[in-house]
Amino acid sequence: MRGIGRWGSIDSRDGDNGYDYNSGLLSGGYDRVIKGHFLPGVSLGYSGTF
């Protein structure tokens, strides 16, 4: 399982509006060796901004 997040802000300047941002990612996976040489696996992930 792994999670990553980013956040920050941009100040307004020269008449342009500033903004804040947040984003995140969560992912995980599983695999297993079968019969010594076959390695099937699955993974799932989710990302979003808010």
pLDDT at 24: 96
Average pLDDT, the chain: 93
Q: Which residues of the chain have pLDDT under 70?
A: none
Q: Enter the pTM of the model.
A: 0.58
Q: Which residue has the tokens 């980013």?
A: 6
pLDDT at 50: 78
CA 17 – CA 21 distance, rounded (Å): 13
Contact assessment for residue 31 and residue 39, using Cβ atoms and an 8 Å cutoff: yes
